[in-house]
Amino acid sequence: MAYTTINKSGDYFNTSLWSGNGSAQTISGVGFQPDWLWTKCRSDSYSHILTDSVRGITKQLKSEGNAAEATNAQGVTAFNADGYVLGTQADFAVNGNTFVGWGWKAGTTGSGTTTGSGTGKAYSYSVNTTAGFSIIKFIGNGTAGHTIPHHLGAKADFVIIKGLASGRQWSVGSSGLGWTKELFLDATNAQNTSASPWYDTAPSSTVVTLGTGSNGNTNDETYIMYAFSTKTGYSKFGSYVGNGNADGTFIYTGFKPALIIMKRSDAAGNNWRIFDNKRSTSGFNVIDKTLRPNATTIEGSSNIDFLSNGVKIRNTDAEDNTSGGTYIYMAFGQSLVGSNNVPCTAR
């Protein structure tokens, strides 16, 4: 079992559940002030709403499409020390509907000028180097080799970029995919092999390198980037191969997952999937509830297990476990062994 320097993962990532009542609500018990919040109605076909502290709480993006950033004063109205406040926007508040919110903590803010090839452009950021997570808002320069500082202090292993203008897809890069390829968070496409997104260059410990793709580096357009680095015992980003059997593939993470997001990368027509440890009907294994970042559809059913050191696939669904299929994932959770190899106590 891997040890961790993060003895309480709930200080940096947490999942919240609530029911709508038609009114504004305060969602508390998160355990920290989130800087990135991703919400979805579980019981009706409303949008995934993504909000962050760098763009501002009234600014919203939707993961299921390529729409421009929108402003809604009745969406998230505040981030506070233990959660967030939601207005009366239907995506959060319809009476009787059920909702989920996933929150990540960044926190240290700053600004600067981008580097690498072409004209340097302004950027601003919020980062938490302990948890390996940063949010960067930057302006593209249209030049291959444009480099965006991510401030993680370690190489980025998973990167999501969205242009704030209409028509820009959600470009996803991952160490599990390789940096000659990209996926789109808003689509069921297979991996795309091209130098356009990442300039065929893996992120370094300081920057993410961009090609000339319009989804990440059009001159004078504004983009948001969410970047993650692996933290032993807390987060992992990689790939696995399905076996097509109900006694499915085991994905070693080194911690008990609280969230996994996955996508088949080698074939088209497969949705992204989100599983977490809060929406399961039993509260334990089987983890049986899934949502699709690329679709507004309601919560569906599937079967995986969250174990003390990873994920066990328990189904033969093509979106999780086709024999020979390749899948990428990002996972967050809690190690059972803390710093100095001391077992974590119950919380």
DSSP assignment of 275-326 equals EESSS-SSSSSSEEEEB-TT--PPPEEEEEEEETTEEEE----HHHH-TT-E
Picking from 228, 259, 281, the residue at the C-terminal end of a domain is 228
Q: To 10 degrees, the CA torsion angle through 287, 259, 10, 299?
A: -70
Q: What is the pLDDT of residue 120?
A: 98
Q: Does the pLDDT of residue 287 top 60, yes or no?
A: yes
- pLDDT per residue over 192-214, tens digit each? 999 999 999 999 999 999 999 99
Q: How confident is the model at residue 5 (pLDDT cuts 50, 70, 90)?
A: confident
Q: How confident is the model at residue 337 (pLDDT cuts 50, 70, 90)?
A: low
- Asked if residue 213 and residue 114 are part of one domain, the reply reads yes
- Asked if residue 249 and residue 214 are part of one domain, the reply reads no
- For the segment 283-300, the average pLDDT, to the nearest whole number, is 92
- pLDDT per residue over 30-61, tens digit each? 999 999 999 999 999 999 999 999 999 999 99
Asked, for residue 3, whether it belongs to a domain, the answer is no
- For the segment 160-169, the average pLDDT, to the nearest whole number, is 97
How many helices (H) and strands (E) are present in the chain, helices listed first? Answer: 2, 28
Residue 216 tokens, joined: 């990440």
Asked, for residue 89, whether it belongs to a domain, the answer is yes
Q: To 10 degrees, the CA torsion angle through 89, 93, 97, 98?
A: 110
- Asked if residue 314 and residue 272 are part of one domain, the reply reads yes
- Asked if residue 97 and residue 117 are part of one domain, the reply reads no
Q: Answer with the residue of higher pLDDT: 189 or 336.
A: 189
Buried b (16+ CB within 10 A) or exposed e, 98-136: bbbbbbbbbbeeeeeebbbebeebebebbbbbebbbbbb
Residue 81 tokens, joined: 């020390």
pTM above 0.85, yes or no: yes
- pLDDT per residue over 64-78, tens digit each? 999 999 999 999 999
What percent of the chain shows pLDDT beyond 70? Answer: 95
Asked, for residue 31, whether it belongs to a domain, the answer is yes
- Asked if residue 91 and residue 113 are part of one domain, the reply reads no
Residue 211 DSSP one-character state: -
Q: What is the pLDDT of residue 282?
A: 67
Picking from 104, 128, 159, the residue at the C-terminal end of a domain is 104
Q: Does the pLDDT of residue 1 top 80, yes or no?
A: no
Q: How many domains does the chain have?
A: 3
Asked, for residue 192, whether it belongs to a domain, the answer is yes
Q: How confident is the model at residue 338 (pLDDT cuts 50, 70, 90)?
A: low
Q: Does the pLDDT of residue 346 top 70, yes or no?
A: no
* Domain carrying residue 75: 9-104
- Count of Cβ atoms closer than 10 Å to residue 165 Cβ: 15
- pLDDT per residue over 103-159, tens digit each? 999 999 999 999 999 999 999 999 999 999 999 999 999 999 999 999 999 999 999
What pairs with residue 209 in β-bridges? Answer: 147
CA-closest candidate to residue 50, choices 66, 63, 41:
63
- Asked if residue 337 and residue 286 are part of one domain, the reply reads yes
Average pLDDT, the chain: 95
Asked, for residue 1, whether it belongs to a domain, the answer is no
CB 74 within 8 A of CB 196: no
Q: Does the pLDDT of residue 283 top 90, yes or no?
A: no
Q: Does the pLDDT of residue 176 top 50, yes or no?
A: yes
CA-closest candidate to residue 299, choices 89, 46, 104, 28:
46
Place of tokens 């990428």: 328
- For the segment 189-193, the average pLDDT, to the nearest whole number, is 97
- Asked if residue 337 and residue 242 are part of one domain, the reply reads yes
- pLDDT per residue over 17-27, tens digit each? 999 999 999 99
Q: What is the pLDDT of residue 345?
A: 45
Q: How confident is the model at residue 87 (pLDDT cuts 50, 70, 90)?
A: very high
- pLDDT per residue over 210-264, tens digit each? 999 999 999 999 999 999 999 999 999 999 999 999 999 999 999 999 999 999 9
- Asked if residue 112 and residue 219 are part of one domain, the reply reads yes
Q: Does the pLDDT of residue 271 top 60, yes or no?
A: yes
Give how far the C-alpha of residue 280 lies from the chain's centroid of Cα atoms, to the nearest Å.
Answer: 20
- Asked if residue 193 and residue 146 are part of one domain, the reply reads yes
Asked, for residue 4, whether it belongs to a domain, the answer is no
Picking from 228, 258, 288, the residue at the C-terminal end of a domain is 228
- Asked if residue 223 and residue 118 are part of one domain, the reply reads yes
Asked, for residue 243, whether it belongs to a domain, the answer is yes
